[in-house]
Amino acid sequence: MRVLSLFIAASLDGYIAKPDDDLSFLKLVEKEGEDYGYAAFTSTIDTIILGRRTYDWVLEKIGASYYDNGERNVYVITGTERPDVGKTKFYTGDLTELVRQLKTESGKNIYCDGGAEIINELLKNDLIDEFVISVIPVLVGNGTRLFKDNRPEQQLELVNTKTFDTGLTQLHYKRKR
Window of 39-47, 82-90, 92-100, 168-176 that interacts with a copy of itself by CB under 8 A: 168-176
Residue 133 sits in the site that holds a copy of itself (CB under 8 A): yes
Site for a copy of itself in 7-36 (CB under 8 A): 12-14, 18, 25, 28
* Choices 1-9, 50-58, 72-80, 133-141 (CB under 8 A): range interacting with a copy of itself: 133-141
- Provide the mask over 101-130, with x wherever binding to a copy of itself is found by CB under 8 A and - wherever it is not: ----------------------x-------
**Would you call 112 exposed, middle or buried from its count of C-beta atoms within 10 A (0-12, 13-18, 19+)?**
buried
For β-strands 4-11 and 130-136, DSSP reports them as parallel
Spatial contact of 146 and 22, defined as CB atoms under 8 Å apart: no
Of the candidates 65, 92, 101, 142, which one interacts with a copy of itself according to CB under 8 A?
A: 142
Nearest approach in angstroms of CB 120 to a copy of itself is: 10
For residues 41 and 111, what is the distance between their CA atoms, to the nearest angstrom? 9
Examine residue 157 and tell whether it contacts a copy of itself (CB under 8 A).
yes
The whole-angstrom separation of Cα 98 and Cα 135 is 29
Of the two residues 87 and 174, which places its CB atom closer to a copy of itself in the complex? 174
Burial per residue of 39-75, b for 16 or more beta-carbon CB atoms within 10 angstroms, e otherwise: eebbeebbbbbbbbbbbebbbeeeeeeebbeeebbbb
34-42, 53-61, 97-105, 147-155 -> range binding a copy of itself (CB under 8 A) = 147-155
What is each CA distance from 167 to 6, 17, 134, 142, 143, in whole angstroms? Answer: 21, 18, 10, 21, 21
**Contacting positions for a copy of itself (CB under 8 A):** 12-14, 18, 25, 28, 123, 131, 133, 135, 137-142, 145-147, 149-158, 160-161, 163, 167-169, 171, 173
